[in-house]
Amino acid sequence: MREPNVIGDWQEYADEHAGLRVRVHGLEKAEPPHGRDGAAEGLTYFRFRVTVENRMGKPVGVHLEDGQFDIRVGTDGESAFLDWRNSRFVEGFDLYPLRRVTAVLYAAAPESSLNVVDIQVQLKADDDWADRYLWSGGLPAPDGPPGTDTRADGAPEGLMGQIAVFLREQAERGQS
């Protein structure tokens, strides 16, 4: 079973893209720099970064454009709004060995769904499509006390909280 990466983890490519690695990181609430898009009215904006690192022995042309991302939020996996006007993509950048390039993306979704954020990326290196990889994480829900990772009802929030609950339940089942 393929498991998603946690937001912040590096993913190494293999085969014809061996030496390239990519990660999704810096997930946070943030207003877009050039104003909100009208289509995002009533939604909460968030920002994340996608960084590609070249560990190959040769330069590679990197493409990270709007059609290469799929952003889903909430437990039902609803599609988030990707604000392509405010996002900064990587379009045909020659990435030399031991260098990195980063795309900064702005998206919006209902605030109540931001506790689960899944971001799928398919890198294009030169003119070849690389494998798709998925990163999962989340933002703290707004109804919890400030500075905590729990909801008002005391349940853990976000991916880490869900993992902790799952492991606790599995341990309890194993003891009975």
Contact 64, 51 (CB under 8 A): no
Q: Is 9 helix (H, G, I), strand (E, B) or coil?
A: coil
Q: Which of 116, 124, 117, 148 is nearest to 48 (CA)?
A: 117
Give the pLDDT confidence of 120-170 residue by residue, as tens digits: 999 999 989 999 999 999 997 444 434 444 444 444 556 667 777 777 777
Backbone angles phi, psi at 11, to 5 degrees: -120, 120
Question: Which runs of consecutive H residues, i.e. helices, occur in 60-175?
Answer: 158-175
Contact 30, 47 (CB under 8 A): yes
Instruction: Report the distance separating Cα 83 and Cα 40, nearest Å.
Output: 8
Evaluate if residue 100 carries a pLDDT over 50: yes
Evaluate if residue 174 carries a pLDDT over 90: no
Give the pLDDT confidence of 113-122 residue by residue, as tens digits: 999 999 999 9
Helix H or strand E segment including 32: none
Q: For residues 133-152, b (16+ Cβ closer than 10 Å) or e, as one string?
A: bbbbbbbbbeebeeeeebbe
Structure tokens at 155: 């349940």
Confidence tier at 176 by pLDDT (50, 70, 90): low
Domains and CATH numbers, the chain: 5-139 (2.60.40.1240), 141-176 (no CATH)
Backbone angles phi, psi at 31, to 5 degrees: -80, 145
What order of strands is seen across the sheet that includes strand 44-54?
10-12, 20-29, 44-54, 99-109, 81-82
Instruction: Report the distance separating Cα 55 and Cα 82, nearest Å.
Output: 29
